[in-house]
Structure 1
Amino acid sequence: MMRMHRNLVFAVWDGLDQIFNENAYADKVVEKLLRRDKRWGSRDRGFIAETVYDMVRYRRLYAEIAGVSAPYSRQDLGRMFAVWAILRGHTLPDWKEFAGTPERRIKGRFDALQESRAVRESVPDWLDALGAESLGEAVWDRELRALNQQAEVVLRVNRLKASPEQVRESLSEAGFETAPISGYPDALRLLERANVFGSEAFRSGWFEIQDASSQRVAPLLAPEPGMRVIDTCAGAGGKSLHLAALMENKGQILALDIYANKLRELKKRAKRAGAFNIETRPIESSKTLKRLAGSADRVLIDAPCSGLGVLRRNPDAKWKLRPEFVEELTRTQAELLNSYSQLLKPGGKLVYATCSILPGENEQQVARFLDSGAGQAFRLEEEHRILACESGFDGFYLALLNHTG
């Protein structure tokens, strides 16, 4: 059990203030916090990152037990921290901020609140109701529990530059132990959480950080060297880089996105990875798509979604989501399927993927497309709903469609 230091605890409170009260993104806040003091070692940084994420994950539960509500004052954050510490078995330091903390009452409140799933698993009531309605009570119960676990760090080996064995050996020499994951040929899991970005293997482009579920997307598309593949919502390019490796750098990957800044990041990552067959193109108007109609052997639509499948790594997302935003997303997804499917040649393959677990964004979305005019030329070959409670990895959905026209 680590001894608590004021500068570390207060850094946690500063981070929570920004995340809870200013609606800042947890990952960006933590990244900045960890650079605050050069004297902090890996254990110190680990305490800050893991405590912030755990308190974001269980924000509703800790706030209810502490008897506080948003916006949270410094004193409120201190009370929530005390709840976290007691429930995690830590001894509170003898500071004035923690004087009179009612340990027995905290444990009693925790037990009493176990009856309410929305409070116990710390989600908004509307999201709890939507999940239960969409997946059924029993599955949603298990999935929500799984999505509140800390995500493992999974690497994807970049076979353009290295083999899994070479990456394992290089990281081991640098003090990072990894293990392969059965059924995921390019994946390695870190046996202990660590920052591997400073390693020689990462700087040399030998691997990327990519969850195992996400690593199933590019292989399902079955791209072959020499093909033209369009990644329509490429973002910073995790899937484009995987496609480049599967295509052995032969052929063309056209990475499209409406956000040019994300594509600039993709260019940097592609250079490090030695992926030379990726061309980035911002979508500036409908003309960009018209010029590409019927030109692709493969199309990937990694659609914008609620992100409910990746709450393990983005726990603050559940507090940023709104019911109307989920409805808006489903309309956007339908539009993207309709327009981007037209980029495919007859005989080509399309993968529609989301990191959501809601059927409304997934199976139902694909079924609606197949019933539409644009979907008449397509046939569903296979679909996969990946749940965190079953796979141990992120929640995901993948559908493979064939253009039969």
Structure 2
Amino acid sequence: MRLHRNLVYAVIDGLNLIFNEDKYADKVVQQLLKRDKRWGSRDRGFIAETTYDIVRWKRLYGEIAEVKEPFSRENLWRIFAVWATLKGIQLPDWKQLEGTPSRRIKGRFDELSKIRKCRESIPDWLDDMGSKELGEATWEKELKALNQQAEVVIRVNTLKTNKKALQALLIDEDIATIAIKNYPDALQLKERSNVFKTEAFKNGLFEVQDASSQLIADFLDVKPGMRIADACAGAGGKSLHLAAKMDNKGQIIAMDIYGFKLKELKRRAKRNGAHNIEPREITSTKTIKKLHNQMDRVLIDAPCSGLGVLRRNPDAKWKLKPEFIDNIKKTQQEILRDYSKMVKPGGKMVYATCSILPSENQDQVKAFLQSENGKDFGLVKDKKVLASTSGFDGFYMALLAKKQ
């Protein structure tokens, strides 16, 4: 591979924003890719994949380069030199890369690879928490899986098409996909591609949604004609899936405390042809109280640490703090307590997170069932999805039923 100066400068600029200015990696990469209209797909791929790769392995590369945060521009070049050396890329004769100790880099890599928190590039506190909650063997496998680049998975919008028809249309746009066993609406891209530019996407024939996330709509056991509350809907990926499962019949009240996310949902619903979704911003406790004991199904896709989706959000492990996880657990308890009141007698509720920590998952469900608010509910089933066993995002979902 031959390195191009303007592309590497873009990567260095992006790393500075992510590491030193606490910007989100996905937003930074989006901006970087718009910098030069002359860049082709290979150029943009280099910028995106290199930036994410260095973010993912920040601790390992930083320790090999023997630099500490906040990283100066010179330090970022040293980290980049480590990345390139370990990838076997011949370094060009640029002043920023002069004196790169290639042999020492490889020796340091071999040395640090014996230490898990360095080898898997994870903060000390998070390594301790993960091994304590999941056990050494499971945590080790999970860390390795979460450090892999996520595959691109799409969900067929069955309101408009079917799997075979969509595959044929995408082939016409030079995008090959494969079906995934036991995921009825999922297709996986054989090669990474910008699917958002396809006519099939513009016409609402699919959404990008990880396979694990697609399990939740089926888990909620919805039927056409039901009244559903998606209580933490965000931009509505799961609301859209529920609308398809219900054949556009019934009502989905998509709720969130952030109005701008619901505006995005409204736009997506129109493109998808999903007509039974009503966005409703949670402006006070009254928004929830009006729906007490009225909903056939309630989905609580709770805010969480996001540890199950590190494959696609590698910067999250550097932004996370122990106090955030402590606080989010309290928020999860409050949401379960308050939003469960919307379930009518005989109705069902799913509590879900994209975390792999039992303290955010099974322990929260157990605590709810033992509480005053949970005494009328029973656990029907739950499902733990690990990246190391599924090959997709880590997720948890629990189906609870309310007594008649």
Q: Give the TM-score taking structure 2 as reference length.
A: 0.99
Q: Deviations over 1:185-219 (max 9, x none)?
A: 10000000010101010000000000000000011
State the partner residue of 1:269: 268
Residue 306 of structure 2: aligned partner: 307
Task: Supply the distance in 2 between the matched residues of 1:374 and 1:329 (Cα, whole angstroms).
Answer: 19
Question: How far, CA to CA, are the matches of 2:370 and 2:29 in structure 1?
Answer: 45
Matched with 1:221 is 220
User: In the TM superposition, what is the alpha-carbon distance from 1:379 to its structure 2 partner?
Assistant: 0.7
Compute the RMSD of aligned alpha carbons: 0.6
Show the counterpart of 1:389.
Answer: 388
1:33 is matched with 32
CA distance in 2, matches of 1:309, 1:141: 14
Q: Within 5 Å, which residues of 2 pair with 1:308-387?
A: 308-387=307-386
State how far apart, in whole Å, the 1-side matches of 2:196 and 2:165 are: 17
Q: Where in structure 2 are there 5+ consecutive unaligned residues?
A: none
Name the amino acid aligned to 1:341: S
CA distance in 2, matches of 1:120, 1:14: 25
SS in 2 for 1:94: coil
Look up the equivalent residue of 2:168 and give its one-letter code: E
Matching residue's letter, 2:238: K
- Aligned match of 2:114: 115
User: What CA deviation, in whole Å up to 9, does each residue of 1:324-376 have, x standing for no partner?
Assistant: 10000000000101111110011111000000000000000000000001111
Residue type at the aligned position of 2:83: W
1:137: which partner in 2? 136
The amino acid across from 2:33 in the alignment is L
What aligned pairs does 1:6-405 form with structure 2 within 5 A after superposition? 6-405=5-404
Within 2, Cα distance between the matches of 1:4 and 1:74?
Answer: 18
**Aligned mates of 1:86, 1:162 — CA distance in 2:** 47
Q: Distance in 1 between matches of 2:115 and 2:364?
A: 31
1:108-145 CA-partner distances (Å, limit 9, x unpaired)? 00011012211111111000000000000110001001
Per-residue CA deviations over 1:307-339 (Å, capped at 9, x if unaligned) read: 000000000000111001000000000010111
Cα offset for 1:3?
Answer: 1.1
Work out the CA distance in 2 between the residues paired with 1:84 and 1:74. Answer: 15
Q: Quote the Cα distance in structure 1 between the aligned partners of 2:71 and 2:285.
A: 45
Match of 2:122, SS state, is coil
Q: Secondary structure at the match of 2:278?
A: strand
The whole-number CA distance in structure 2 between the counterparts of 1:285 and 1:96 is 58
Q: 1:184 Cα shift?
A: 0.3
Amino acid of the structure 1 residue aligned with 2:215: R
Structure 2: distance between partners of 1:227 and 1:134: 38
* Residue identity opposite 2:73 in structure 1: R
Secondary structure of 1:233's match?
coil
Shift of 1:157: 0.3
Q: Distance in 1 between matches of 2:342 and 2:278?
A: 16
Q: Following the alignment from structure 2 to structure 1, what is the Cα–Cα distance between the partners of residues 265 and 181?
A: 29
> Which amino acid is 1:18 matched to?
L
Structure 1 counterpart of 2:325, one-letter code: V
For the residues of structure 2 that align with 1:97 and 1:280, how far apart are their CA atoms?
A: 51
- CA distance in 2: counterparts of 1:119 and 1:362, whole angstroms: 27
SS in 2 for 1:375: coil
Deviation for aligned residue 1:97:
1.2
Determine the C-alpha separation between the residues in 2 that align with 1:322 and 1:147: 18
SS of alignment partner, residue 155 of structure 1: strand
Give the drift of 1:99. 1.2
Give SS of 2:113's match.
helix
How far apart, in 2, do the equivalents of 1:219 and 1:254 lie?
18
State the secondary structure of the residue aligned to 2:185. strand
Using the alignment, how far apart are the partners of 1:291 and 1:400 within structure 2? 23
Alpha-carbon distance in structure 1 between the residues aligned to 2:169 and 2:35: 30
Cα offset for 1:225?
A: 0.5
Query: Does the residue aligned with 1:91 lie in a helix, a strand or coil?
Result: coil
> Quick one: which amino acid aligns to residue 311 of structure 1?
L
In the superposition, the TM-score normalised over structure 1's length comes to 0.99
Over the matched positions of the two proteins, sequence identity in percent amounts to 64
| Cα distance in 1 between the residues matched to 2:188 and 2:10 | 29
Q: How big is the shift at 1:94?
A: 1.6
Could you report, residue by residue, the CA deviation over 1:248-302 in whole angstroms, capped at 9, with x for unpaired residues?
0000000000000000000000000000000000000111111100000000000
Rounded to whole Å, the distance in 1 between the matches of 2:292 and 2:303 is 21
Counterpart residue identity of residue 357, structure 1: I
